[in-house]
Amino acid sequence: MSGMESVSPQEIDRAYEKYKKDAIAGAYNINPDVEFTKGLISGLLVNQSRYGYPSCPCRLSMGSKEEDLDIICPCDYRDGDIDKYGACYCALYISQDVLEGRQPVKSIPESRLPRADRKKKVAQTVDLNWNKLPLPVWRCTVCGYLCARDGPPEVCPICKAKKDRFERFI
């Protein structure tokens, strides 16, 4: 790691507090193991400085925002994995049942499709965009929020993901 990419304990602490606050505001839980969670947040900060966006610390980044969009934290797979396995792939976010000890966390499989299949999925989405609705429908790829308007909102009102995480749904 080059000097430019190292993060100070103060930066990690500040980011940790922010992740915690944002999680509470969005009804999510971050992992209560503080050292573990700070390790993941440190990885996110390193990726932010290395690539210009906080790609998932548990996955290999391509170094291209377009290719990595689905794994910018929070990734497109977070909510589904929390529902299915009680935690996101990195276990940065956990379910209420896991937090309260009603569900153990086992190993979390990778929900992201291999690269070639991800590209096919994008092509299929484009093929379905034929409807003659008065307005296009946009979907937040992080939380699934849908809205019909000329363009996607700047920020998702539900999960706060930015505009570039929206896809044309219909």
Contact map string, positions 11 to 40, toward ligand SF4, x by CB under 6 A: -----------------------------x
Find all residues with CB under 8 Å of 142, minimum gap 6, and list them: 74, 75, 76, 78, 79, 156, 159, 161, 165
| 75 versus 143: smaller Cβ distance to ligand SF4 | 75
Within 8 A by CB and 6+ apart from 154, the residues are: 162, 163
CA contacts within 13 A on the Cβ side of 54: 13
Instruction: Please enumerate in sequence order all residues whose Cβ is within 8 A of that of 38, keeping only pairs 6 or more positions apart, or say none.
Output: 12, 13, 16
Nearer to ligand SF4, 137 or 162 (CB): 162
Residue 90 makes contact with ligand SF4 by CB under 6 A: yes
Of positions 15, 45, 46, 75, contacts ligand SF4 by CB under 6 A: 75
Rg from Cα positions in the chain: 17
Q: For the CB of residue 57, give the shortest distance to ligand SF4 in the complex, in Å.
A: 6
Least distance from ligand SF4 to the Cβ atom of residue 151, Å: 25
Q: Which of 73, 98, 143, 156 binds ligand SF4 (CB under 6 A)?
A: 73
Candidate ranges 5-13, 19-27, 87-95, 128-136; the one touching ligand SF4 (CB under 6 A) = 87-95
> Is residue 138 close enough to count as binding ligand SF4 by CB under 6 A?
no
Residue from 46, 56, 140, 159 touching ligand SF4 (CB under 6 A): that is: 56
Cα–Cα distance, 44 to 32 (Å, whole number): 17
Distance (Å, rounded) from C-alpha 52 to C-alpha 118?
22
- Residues forming contacts to ligand SF4 in the complex (CB under 6 A) are 40, 56, 58, 71, 73-75, 78, 88-90, 92-93
